[in-house]
C-alpha cells in the first residue's frame, strides 16, 4: 500500500509555540494526486528566498526544498489519490491531504496557517489566509515542498505512462496533454471526474 502521508522531524527541540504553514499542489491538473505539505520553520535558522512556489524556477524550488528539509524544525507531506479526488471532489480531497500532512507532524503544533479560504477538519487552532503563500514564510515553504514532491510523483507516473508526457506538463491541461489524452484515452492516473477526461470515457451500456 502506498503511504498517504510522510513526516520528518528536524532541528532542535520545538519552541513553546509551534506554528505550521500548510499549502497544496495539484488541484488543477487532470492527472495525478493532490499533495499537501505542512512546515514548522526554525526562527534560529532562517531561509532566504522563500516565496510562492509558482514564482520560482524549478531549480530554485529544488534548492529551497533541500534547505527547508535541512533547516525546518519539522515538516510533513500528505496526499489524496486520484480515486479519492474522483470520489470526494477536488476541494474535499485537498482538505484531506492537508489534514494528513498536519496530523503527520510530530510533535503536534499549536496553530496552523493554511493558504486559501478553506480549512481542513482538524483538532488544532487554524487560520485561513488568502494569498498566504506570498506573505507567510511557513506557507511559502509548504508550497515549495508540496510542489517539488508532487513533481517527483508525476515523473514516476511518466515512467509508467510515458506516452502522456507527465514529466513535462505534470498533468496540467496543456495542448500537448489534451492532444495525447484525446488520441490515447485516459490512463489510470487520470481524474475521471474532471470534464476533459470525463467526456472521453466510454458511455455505460445503459446510456441512451
Half-sphere exposure of 208 (CA within 13 A, CB side): 0
Q: Does the structure show a pLDDT above 70 at 96?
A: yes
Long-range contacts of 87-96 (CB under 8 A, 24+ apart): 89/193, 90/27, 90/34, 90/191, 90/193, 90/194, 91/118, 93/34, 94/24, 94/27, 94/34, 94/36, 94/118, 95/119, 95/120, 95/121, 96/120
Mean pLDDT within 43-70: 93
> Distance between CA 46 and CA 31 in Å, rounded?
35
Assign 52 a pLDDT band (cuts: 50, 70, 90): confident
Give per-residue pLDDT as tens, 2-38.
Answer: 335 554 544 444 445 799 999 999 999 999 999 999 9
- Give the Cα separation of 13 and 138 in Å (integer): 18
What string of H, E and C letters represents the secondary structure of 170-183? CCCCCHHHHHHHHH
The average pLDDT across 92-100 equals 98
- Residue 116, pLDDT above cutoff 70: yes
Within 13 Å, how many C-alpha atoms sit on residue 99's CB side? Answer: 13
pLDDT computed for residue 11 by the predictor: 42
* Cell numbers placing 159: 515512467
Confidence of residue 203 (pLDDT cuts 50, 70, 90): low
pLDDT score at 4: 52
Q: What is the pTM of this model?
A: 0.88
Residue that wins the pLDDT comparison between 86 and 54? 86
How many angstroms separate the Cα of 134 from the Cα of each of 24, 59, 91, 119, 205?
Answer: 14, 19, 21, 18, 49
Grouping H, G, I as helix, E, B as strand and the rest as coil, residue 39 is: strand
Instruction: Evaluate whether the domain defined by 5-160 bears CATH number 3.40.50.1820.
Output: no
Output the average pLDDT for the chain.
90
pLDDT of residue 206: 52
The answer to whether 98 and 104 have CB atoms below 8 angstroms apart is no
- The better pLDDT of the pair 11, 188 is held by 188
Amino acid at each position: 500500500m502506498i503511504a498517504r502521508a510522510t513526516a520528518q522531524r528536524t532541528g532542535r527541540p520545538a519552541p513553546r509555540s509551534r506554528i505550521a504553514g500548510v499549502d497544496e499542489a495539484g488541484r488543477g491538473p487532470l492527472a495525478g494526486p493532490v499533495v499537501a505539505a505542512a512546515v514548522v520553520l526554525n526562527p534560529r535558522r532562517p531561509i532566504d528566498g522563500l516565496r510562492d512556489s509558482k514564482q520560482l524556477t524549478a531549480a530554485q524550488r529544488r534548492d529551497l526544498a533541500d534547505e527547508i528539509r535541512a533547516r525546518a524544525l519539522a515538516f510533513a507531506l500528505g496526499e489524496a489519490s486520484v480515486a479519492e479526488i474522483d470520489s470526494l471532489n477536488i476541494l474535499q480531497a485537498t482538505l484531506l491531504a492537508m489534514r494528513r500532512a498536519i496530523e503527520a507532524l510530530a510533535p503536534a503544533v499549536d496553530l496552523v496557517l493554511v493558504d486559501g479560504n478553506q480549512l481542513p477538519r482538524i483538532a488544532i487552532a487554524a487560520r485561513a489566509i488568502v494569498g498566504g503563500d506570498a506573505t507567510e514564510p511557513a506557507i511559502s515553504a509548504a508550497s515549495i515542498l508540496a510542489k517539488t514532491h508532487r513533481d517527483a510523483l508525476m515523473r514516476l507516473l511518466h515512467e509508467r505512462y510515458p506516452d502522456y508526457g507527465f514529466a513535462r506538463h505534470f498533468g496540467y491541461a496543456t495542448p500537448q496533454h489534451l492532444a495525447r489524452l484525446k488520441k490515447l484515452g485516459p490512463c489510470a492516473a487520470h481524474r475521471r471526474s474532471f470534464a476533459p477526461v470525463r467526456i472521453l470515457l466510454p458511455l455505460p451500456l445503459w446510456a441512451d
